[in-house]
């Protein structure tokens, strides 16, 4: 007997999912045992990317999540509500759930996974992070025998596309964003992408899987790319870097042998990345995730992070995984598979940004007068900030432009030095401050 899928949403991802399930030839034979039996849509009359028998469609999404003949509910409507409530109702009705909804999972994972574990059903989220790149299953399974030290990702295609074009064309953020919106690479409201919120949802999910605990989204530092200028990209290039929006999660080493607390850093911000770094050549809309773990070393996953085909590939892989498990364990398993269920109970401790130790890049505009570079250097020195390089590049509107790269410093010390520098006579502006990997 086939496994029945109820699809909530027939937009881009829903249509891509149906396309794969309706055309199983030359794919895994398990797919031919999966049937789409109901599809929830907002309106019955809208033109759709795929033709489905009209009798499958309904505008009553509640009917799908309560339908006793459905085994797996696939939520691809996006947004927080009604997606969250429908997922919870599906779980309460004993359905397994596949969702591409990073926003819901990053905010409500405790509620959703507690409910799923109590109900004995799976909630699978491969499509929620980096679209077509298999990263959730590798973290849950093959990589989970390792001690994961660090995950560094380019997990937002829109911002990677914008930064890549700024780099290639020497253009400023605003003009590339407008063109990206015109071409359909950026949303009309680009906030979630360009302000780093989408990447923050994704790294919160990855950190939770990698480090075995829940992550409070509010603790994830999030800085977007609106303030990146063509000038910074050009200076970074001269210094041997590219600028990428990186999502990072890492486990800090214990402060002392007695310290048993797990301290994580989980953050999203634009970063100067050495051109030799494996992520530096990930361009355009592509995503990539670099996992560093013991003993496997570096593993990099690369691919398309969005779009119909890639996201549908991830959704269907989750459906197939559930079907494979149900075939071997029975449709109502007594126990969930330990590598596929999410059983985290505690929240991880995320270190405050002031404690972060990193290199910084800063650009200063100053009056062209004797001693300014010396005074800036003195302020840094007074706060224990050691400088790797100081260059006066040229002039902008009669102001001298000075670019500084520090050695590794505590972020709190660096910020304190900047506060002193801001009050220096002759200092006109600090147009940019960026972290350097």
Site string for ligand HSE, 300-339 (x = CB under 6 A): -----xx---------------------------------
CA 52/CA 22 separation, integer angstroms = 10
Is the CB of 158 or the CB of 366 nearer to ligand HSE? 158
Is the CB of 193 or the CB of 232 nearer to ligand HSE? 193
Nearest to 408 by CA among 387, 431, 432: 387
Please say whether the beta carbons of 77 and 9 come within 8 A.
Answer: yes
Is the CB of 126 or the CB of 198 nearer to ligand HSE? 198
Size of the site for ligand HSE (CB under 6 A): 7
CB of 208 vs ligand HSE, minimal distance in Å: 17
Is the CB of 100 or the CB of 421 nearer to ligand HSE? 100
Is the CB of 40 or the CB of 310 nearer to ligand HSE? 310
Q: Is 358 in the site for ligand HSE (CB under 6 A)?
A: no
CB of 266 vs ligand HSE, minimal distance in Å: 18
What CA–CA distances, in Å, run from 425 to 193, 207, 344, 390, 421? 38, 44, 53, 19, 9
| Continuous segment of H or E residues that includes residue 249 | strand 241-251
CA 51/CA 71 separation, integer angstroms = 23
Token pair 């359909």 in the structure block, residue: 184
> 179-199 in b/e burial notation, b at 16+ Cβ within 10 A?
ebeeeebbeeebebbbbbbbb
Among 67, 126, 198, 223, binds ligand HSE (CB under 6 A): 198
Q: Is 193 in the site for ligand HSE (CB under 6 A)?
A: yes
> 284-316 in b/e burial notation, b at 16+ Cβ within 10 A?
ebbbbbbbbbeeeeeeebbbbbbbbebbbbbbb
CA 290/CA 301 separation, integer angstroms = 6
- Token couple for 52: 């489905």
Site string for ligand HSE, 254-293 (x = CB under 6 A): ----------------------------------------
| Continuous segment of H or E residues that includes residue 382 | helix 372-382
Q: Is 75 in the site for ligand HSE (CB under 6 A)?
A: no
Catalytic residue list:
202
Site string for ligand HSE, 131-160 (x = CB under 6 A): -------------------------xxx--
CB of 198 vs ligand HSE, minimal distance in Å: 5
**Residues at the site binding ligand HSE, with contacts judged by CB under 6 A:** 156-158, 193, 198, 305-306
């Amino acid at each position: 007997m086939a496994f029945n899928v109820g699809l909530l949403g027939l937009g881009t991802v829903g249509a891509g999912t149906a396309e794969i399930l309706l055309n199983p030839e030359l794919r895994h034979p398990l797919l031919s045992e999966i049937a789409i039996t109901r599809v929830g849509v907002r309106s019955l009359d809208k033109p759709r990317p795929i033709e489905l028998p009209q009798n499958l469609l309904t505008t009553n999404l509640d009917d799908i999540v309560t339908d006793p003949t459905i085994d797996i509910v696939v939520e691809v409507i996006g947004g927080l509500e009604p997606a969250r409530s429908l997922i919870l109702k599906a779980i309460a009705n004993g359905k397994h759930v596949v969702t591409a909804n990073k926003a819901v999972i990053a905010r409500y994972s405790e509620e959703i996974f507690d409910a799923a574990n109590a109900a004995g059903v799976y909630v699978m989220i491969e499509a929620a992070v980096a679209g077509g790149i298999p990263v959730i299953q590798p973290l849950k399974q093959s990589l989970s025998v390792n001690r994961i030290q660090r995950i560094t990702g380019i997990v937002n295609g829109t911002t990677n596309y914008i930064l890549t074009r700024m780099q290639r064309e020497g253009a400023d953020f605003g003009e590339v964003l407008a063109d990206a919106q015109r071409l359909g690479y950026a949303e009309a409201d680009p906030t979630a992408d360009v302000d780093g919120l989408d990447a923050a949802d994704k790294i919160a999910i990855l950190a939770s899987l990698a480090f075995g605990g829940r992550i409070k989204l509010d603790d994830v530092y999030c800085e977007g790319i609106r303030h990146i200028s063509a000038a910074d990209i050009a200076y970074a290039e001269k210094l041997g870097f590219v600028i990428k929006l990186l999502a990072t999660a890492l486990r800090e080493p214990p402060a002392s042998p007695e310290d048993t607390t797990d301290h994580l850093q989980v953050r999203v911000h634009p970063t100067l990345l050495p051109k030799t770094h494996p992520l530096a050549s990930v361009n355009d809309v592509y995503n990539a995730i670099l996992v560093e773990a013991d003993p496997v070393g570096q593993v990099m996953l690369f691919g398309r992070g969005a779009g119909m085909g890639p996201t549908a590939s991830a959704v269907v892989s989750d459906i197939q995984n559930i079907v494979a498990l149900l075939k071997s364990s029975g449709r109502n398993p007594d126990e969930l598979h330990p590598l596929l269920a999410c059983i985290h109970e505690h929240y991880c401790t995320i270190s405050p940004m002031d404690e972060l130790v990193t290199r910084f890049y800063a650009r200063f505009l100053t009056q062209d007068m004797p001693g300014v570079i010396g005074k800036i250097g003195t302020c840094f020195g007074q706060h224990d900030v050691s400088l790797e390089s100081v260059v006066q590049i040229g002039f902008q509107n009669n102001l001298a432009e000075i670019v500084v790269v520090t050695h590794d410093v505590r972020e709190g010390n660096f910020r304190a030095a900047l506060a002193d520098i801001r009050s220096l006579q002759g200092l006109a502006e600090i147009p940019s401050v960026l972290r350097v990997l």
